[in-house]
Amino acid sequence: MIDEFLFVHKSLVYLFLIFLFSGLAIPIFSSEAIRFKKASFIYTMSFQGLAMMVAFAGLVLLYAGHLEWDIYSATMVIVWGVMMFIEIKKYRLIKYANLTHNETFALLKSGFTKISILQILILFAMIALMVLKNTGVL
C-alpha cells in the first residue's frame, strides 16, 4: 500500500516537472499582451492544482504510511510553500502590470522565463535531495 502511495506521489512530482518545462513555452508563443495575461492565468491555476495534488499525495503517504515526520518532510513542505508563494507573486505582477508598454511586456516575459527556470531548479534540487536520501548517501 505504501508503494502505491509512493508511486502516485513520485508520478505527480514528475508530471509537475513536465508541466514546469512546458510553461517555458508561454513567453515564447505569447506575442500579444492579452494572450500572455490569459495564458499566465491558466498556467497559474494549473500550477496551483498540480502543486496541491503533489502535496496531498505526499501527506496521504506520510500519514497513511505511518512514516515519521523528519527534516526531509519539513523541507518538502517548505519548498512547496516557497514555490506557491513565487507563483502567486509572479501572477499578481502580470495581472496588475500595464502591458500596453512594450518594455514592460518584454520585462515580464523575461521575468516569467527566469522564475520558471528558478522553480524547475528548486524542484530538481528537492528531487536530488530525496534520491540521495533514499540511496543512503544522506
| Every domain of the chain and the residues it spans | 2-135
Give, for all 138 residues of the chain, the pLDDT tens digit. 888 999 999 999 999 999 999 999 999 999 899 999 999 999 999 999 999 999 999 999 999 888 888 999 999 999 999 999 999 999 999 999 988 889 999 999 999 999 999 999 999 999 999 999 989 888
Closest CA to 6 of 52, 55, 58, 50: 58
Residue in the block written with cell 512546458: 22
- Cβ neighbours of 90 (radius 10 Å): 22
- Residue 16 in grid coordinates: 509537475
